[in-house]
Structure 1
Amino acid sequence: MLKIDLMRPEELGDAVRLFVDAVHQINRADYAPEQLDAWAPDDAAFRAQLQNKLASSLTLAARDGDTLVGFGSLLGADELDMLYVDPGHLRRGVGRALVQALEQEACRRGSSHLTANASITARPFFESMGYCVVRENTVLRRGVVLQNFLMFKELLNIE
């Protein structure tokens, strides 16, 4: 049974591992290996930085029993910052449940919309959730160029 609630401090290390695995396994058809390494390096400095980022954001955890199977975070009231699902749990409703919970939280915080920077791989998922592409972005991570999309959704009918 999938449960969504706030990420616990003791889960931050598992979330970082999930992030690195998800980026490298799920996105490899759309990004080159050097892009994946720039996006999700597996080194101690990056792991510490990401743990701090998750700890200082509103981060929701998706658990199947006691196992972390995904997470998502909000920045402020209107930016879906991170959304990652364990590669072994794709297409089981984890991402959808996390996005719905984050949208509800954004509404509780007074936002009428939500934005997200979606990877090439995640774009179809976000479109299926009612998000529209605003523009294509080119970002530089560790000297490597990556492409993603600024996505937008009105939240007027979210309960």
Structure 2
Amino acid sequence: MKSSIHYDQLQPGEEGRASKLIFKVFDENVAPCFTEEGCSEFKSYATPEALRERVGYGSFIFAARDGEELVGVAEIRSFKHLCLLFVDLAQQGKGIGKELIQMVADRCREAGNSELTVNSSLNSRTFYERFGFIAQDEEQLKNGIRFVPMKYML
């Protein structure tokens, strides 16, 4: 069966929908690993206004859609750092995250970069390892956010 998921760039005006998706997945899967300070810090990073502002300053956001419904987002900064990767809870395990990572990696290669970095949440570490990301250090804690710095050679 052919997938009904379509991938392209997040369109201006969709930041609110993207933020809502990010918050929903974050609250369920990531927030339990963060302190209260970390949750607040992350949520300020993923507001519609913050997403809109970063796109104006060197970030690029990919979107995955099932019809009109936004089901995944991935943000890269300077075509070398994966800042956000979130897939709707009901759509996880269907290859959407994998496709978004591939699109991000392809865009980074096109920009002339030889590696892609990510600060993986603890619960996403094995997901990234399946795609070839390698931990660069032990678990870190910064502003209440727990993560593992990882790198993928393109």
- TM-score normalised according to structure 2 size: 0.86
Q: Quick one: structure 1 residues 74 and 41, their matched pair in 2 at CA, closer, same or farther if it must change by over 3 Å?
A: closer
Task: Report the number of matched residues.
Answer: 148
Segment drifting more, 17-26 vs 51-60: 51-60
CA distance in 1 between partners of 2:27 and 2:38 (Å) = 6
User: Runs (4+) of structure 1 moved beyond 3 Å?
Assistant: 39-42
Could you tell me which runs of 5 or more consecutive residues in structure 1 were left unpaired when the two chains were aligned: none
Q: Where does 1:5-154 land on structure 2 (aligned, <5 Å)? A: 5-28=8-31, 30-31=32-33, 34=36, 37-41=39-43, 46-54=47-55, 56=57, 57-135=59-137, 136-140=139-143, 145-154=144-153
Q: What is the aligned-residue identity percentage? A: 26
- Displacement after TM superposition at 1:46 (Å): 4.2
RMSD: 2.1
CA distance in 1 between partners of 2:132 and 2:75 (Å) = 18
Deviations 1:89-145 (A, max 9, x none): 1111111110000000000000111101110011110001110000132110xxxx2
CA distance in 2 between partners of 1:91 and 1:98 (Å) = 13
CA distance in 1 between partners of 2:35 and 2:141 (Å) = 17
- TM-score normalised according to structure 1 size: 0.83
CA distance in 2 between partners of 1:41 and 1:81 (Å) = 13
